[in-house]
A and B are shown apart, each in its own frame.
Chain A
Amino acid sequence: MHLLFLLACSDATNDRAAWLRETLLRADAPYWSRTKLLADKYAVMAAHPYDFYRGSLPLYLAEQARPGDRDDTAFLTTPQSAEILLFGDAHPENLGTLLADDALATPDALRIEVTDLDAASYGPWLLDLRRAALGIALLGDGFQPFLRDAAVSRLPDGWLNGLGTVGLDPSDEGRILQTLRVTASIEGASGERLADWTEDGRFVRDAQLIAGEGLIALDPGEAAELDALLSQGVLPDDARVLDRVRRYGVGVASRPAIRYLVLWDRGSAGTGDDQLVQLREVVEPVRLPGAWPARFDDPASRVVDAAAALWVDPGADPRLGSARVGPRGFKVQSADSFFQGLDRGDVDEGFADDLYGPDDLGDLAYALGYLMGSAHSRAPTASGADATPVLLDDVAQRRELLRDELVGGATSDLAQLYDDYALFTLTIADDPLLGLGSVR
């Protein structure tokens, strides 16, 4: 139906397609020299609407800024409401598990947070909720619309209840996140990624990429770059580096970014103390509309500084850090199986197998909203003020209105996303690089 709509409106469609290409490619300018990786990213985005949603944040934000048919918001009533520290891209798959100390590797010791902070920024708080609401609506699009809307409406409930609190109680996480917690605990304890990726203290290298994925031996330039990064204290003083590879085919938006995996230990014989750390290039993200610039030293520092303010436990990932080589910044994160992100495929599978239902999606929305509300109110504003009264003033006694606005906005954003997805798939069928090849 969407395709028929697009074909029927060819002039407007061509204009929209031009804007879509321009917006996505402009945001991907740091990756223009990596055409194969960029084409791989666009291919992944075309494979599923959720992956398109993940990879099209610049388009989504541009849409939030452009004048159009969207109803005025009843919120963001003061300049201070645009000074809140935001996750920037708080979609459900950015929820993940963290573990401060693997000696305490029980499910309860794991912490669930929004773990990808590449787009964190000080800006209008409503943007984080709108983006998350669209993600929930997209996950629930297989349900009847009223069930999907009911799930989305739990997001503002969670956010409002989270204001002024210190994190989410695990008992309120819902079954989807509890499953993630248990899975990460079990797979972390059994060292699943270590077993999959390494053998006898060495990475198992792929001879070539398969479907864009694989662990590949470093070339001399990459080895030198990684040497420089590791010399900046990203590992403990007593760490011994066992092996290093470049990792391909991970993520969506950041798929063309350089990723290194490092296998290290503290000197014990055998593989019992082996651990994994990932260093991933961080480029400057697209700016949120209304966001305050220049509150972090650089994109890599942004991730670390934002975690310190937004996570309940800033040490929830003991390896979280940043390092730089020339102008290129990298974020450093633990990569063991204790550290896992929510996977849309697993959630879809749960819905298909009737393991989860609409209520579970609602619980997920509530948990995501609660985490965001807690973090938004806990982190100081761009002015250094307490965010809680700013947020409470902005939503004062208008819980129902916030719910209605977010549900209505998610419905229209979802329709727009499907139209753009159809347009995108048609565009890359014609040119896998959206026309970038003609520029270069």
Chain B
Amino acid sequence: MTCALTLDPIVIEDTATPCALADLQVGATGWVRWPTSAINREIALTRARAELGIADSGVAARLVVMGVRSGAPDGYVGVDGESIVPQVQVAEARFEPGYGLRLAAGLLDDPWAIPGERAWTYVGLTTAFAESSGLWDRADLGLRASAATPGGHLSGAAAVTSGEGLRLRERNDGKNVTGVVTVRPFGDARLAVAVAGREGSRGIGSARDHRLAGRITSVGGPWTAGVELDRAWGLSGDPLLTPWGGSAWVGGNPWGPIVLLGRVDHLVLASADSAATDGWLAAGLQRSGARVTARGWVGVAARDAGPEAAPVAGATGLDDWQRLFVVLEVRAHVESED
């Protein structure tokens, strides 16, 4: 049995059994970029996440902390320089009254982005499309109710959230309402079809921030695969943008310790000239123990973007790049039952 502390409602079988969970994910990457520019080689901490959770008698609490670079994303006024500091990403209080129903409050996993991340699996390389595209935040302050039918063939989640509570205090009266419905024909993760919708607003100006999305994933066999489509009305406080995009990926370890993966993302901010396509191809080695999984990767990543997707819209020389990267990631996961 899995400790009843994940977002996915079908994982829960029995919340009455006391359990505790600790999960650590650490990943670092080094890359070389071309065409060459001012910073052509960089080493980055791509993952530093710690999760603790305790469940007992249908009540659970989770805390997730992730390391983030302090200061504005592109600035340099941070903490003790720009030190990596812990950011609370989940602080969840949960009550499970039974009948497959689960109620949660606090700083919560996004019900669309995080299941997508779990299906993507390879978070040491990059985040899943929903988050990496900027279309969804990975967490938000709010309330959530979720439920699953016995056997897990159908599940749903509805959340009412702040809209930008992961990083900012409440800034408008509007609340985001998100709904996700997932169908699993076999009652497990081998095949899942999910759709999501969000009616939202962002920022002091209450700019619209709506979403519609669909995803098909297969997890659990030797291969993990998925395809996702997202449509947005409003992005990052700009209600005039109506981007859409999608991602397709496949990865797995069909031959012992060898791991392979490929992923393509496509995001269109406005016109066709503002489309950007990002791709990853990687091969690696994996070693798994009872509680620890380690992977080492070597791969290439590339961006092919229209001029309107460049940092200065319409600049053709700033939009495309390729990278060669290496990644080392380790995940340690322990659960205990009293």
Which A288-340 residues have a C-beta within 8 angstroms of B?
A: 289-294, 296-299, 327
Residue in A closest to B270 when the chains form the complex, CB atoms: A67
Establish whether residues B205 and A82, one from each chain, have CB atoms under 8 Å apart when the complex forms.
no
Distance in Å: Cβ of B134 to nearest Cβ of chain A: 13
Partner of A436, one of B204, B241, B314: B204
Establish whether residues B238 and A66, one from each chain, have CB atoms under 8 Å apart when the complex forms.
yes
Establish whether residues B241 and A73, one from each chain, have CB atoms under 8 Å apart when the complex forms.
no
Question: In whole angstroms, how far apart are the Cα atoms of A75 and B312 in the complex?
Answer: 11
Partner of B204, one of A16, A25, A297: A25
Establish whether residues A22 and B314, one from each chain, have CB atoms under 8 Å apart when the complex forms.
no
Which A75-125 residues have a C-beta within 8 angstroms of B?
A: 75-83, 122, 124
Which A148-177 residues have a C-beta within 8 angstroms of B?
A: none
Establish whether residues A66 and B237, one from each chain, have CB atoms under 8 Å apart when the complex forms.
no
Establish whether residues A298 and B316, one from each chain, have CB atoms under 8 Å apart when the complex forms.
no
Which B297-312 residues have a C-beta within 8 angstroms of A?
A: 307-312
Distance in Å: Cβ of A353 to nearest Cβ of chain B: 39
State whether the Cβ of A426 lies closer than 8 Å to any Cβ in chain B: no
Chain B residues near A327 (CB-CB < 8 A): 77
Selecting from B35-43, B107-115, B215-223, the interface stretch reads B35-43
Partner of B318, one of A82, A122, A284: A82
Residue in B closest to A18 when the chains form the complex, CB atoms: B205
Query: A70 and B76 in contact (CB under 8 A), knowing A16-B240, A20-B205, A78-B35?
Result: no
Question: In whole angstroms, how far apart are the Cα atoms of A261 and B273 in the complex?
Answer: 51
Establish whether residues A72 and B307, one from each chain, have CB atoms under 8 Å apart when the complex forms.
yes
Establish whether residues A15 and B37, one from each chain, have CB atoms under 8 Å apart when the complex forms.
no
Query: How many of chain A's residues have a CB under 8 angstroms from any CB in B?
Result: 56
Distance in Å: Cβ of A412 to nearest Cβ of chain B: 12
Establish whether residues A68 and B237, one from each chain, have CB atoms under 8 Å apart when the complex forms.
no
State whether the Cβ of A202 lies closer than 8 Å to any Cβ in chain B: no
Chain A residues near B312 (CB-CB < 8 A): 64-65, 73, 76, 82, 124, 126-127, 289-290
Distance in Å: Cβ of A192 to nearest Cβ of chain B: 37
State whether the Cβ of A21 lies closer than 8 Å to any Cβ in chain B: yes
Question: In whole angstroms, how far apart are the Cα atoms of A73 and B314 in the complex?
Answer: 5
Residue in A closest to B79 when the chains form the complex, CB atoms: A327
Which B118-145 residues have a C-beta within 8 angstroms of A?
A: none
**C-beta contact mask, B190-208 vs A, less than 8 Å → 1, else 0?**
0000000000001111111
Question: In whole angstroms, how far apart are the Cα atoms of A26 and B203 in the complex?
Answer: 9
State whether the Cβ of B67 lies closer than 8 Å to any Cβ in chain A: no
Chain B residues near A19 (CB-CB < 8 A): 205, 207, 237-240
Question: In whole angstroms, how far apart are the Cα atoms of A297 and B77 in the complex?
Answer: 9
Chain B residues near A79 (CB-CB < 8 A): 35-38, 317-318
Chain A residues near B172 (CB-CB < 8 A): 438
Chain B residues near A126 (CB-CB < 8 A): 312, 315
State whether the Cβ of B322 lies closer than 8 Å to any Cβ in chain A: no
Chain B residues near A122 (CB-CB < 8 A): 38
Distance in Å: Cβ of A333 to nearest Cβ of chain B: 21
Partner of B269, one of A67, A290, A383: A67
Chain A residues near B309 (CB-CB < 8 A): 67
Question: In whole angstroms, how far apart are the Cα atoms of A12 and B39 in the complex?
Answer: 40
Chain B residues near A16 (CB-CB < 8 A): 240
Distance in Å: Cβ of B311 to nearest Cβ of chain A: 3
Given A65-B313, A296-B76, A299-B77, 13 other A-B residues pairs in contact with their CB atoms under 8 A:
A18-B203, A22-B203, A23-B237, A71-B314, A73-B314, A76-B315, A76-B317, A82-B318, A124-B318, A127-B312, A284-B75, A290-B318, A435-B204
Return 26 A-B CB contacts under 8 Å, by A number. A16-B240, A18-B203, A19-B205, A19-B207, A19-B238, A22-B205, A62-B238, A64-B313, A67-B271, A67-B308, A67-B313, A68-B313, A71-B314, A72-B273, A72-B314, A73-B314, A78-B35, A80-B37, A82-B311, A284-B72, A289-B311, A290-B312, A290-B318, A299-B77, A383-B37, A439-B204
Which of A's residues lie within 8 Å of B, judged by CB? 12, 15-23, 25-26, 62, 64-68, 70-73, 75-83, 122, 124, 126-127, 284, 287, 289-294, 296-299, 327, 381-383, 434-436, 438-439
| CB-based closest 5 A-B pairs | A18-B205, A290-B311, A67-B274, A67-B308, A382-B38
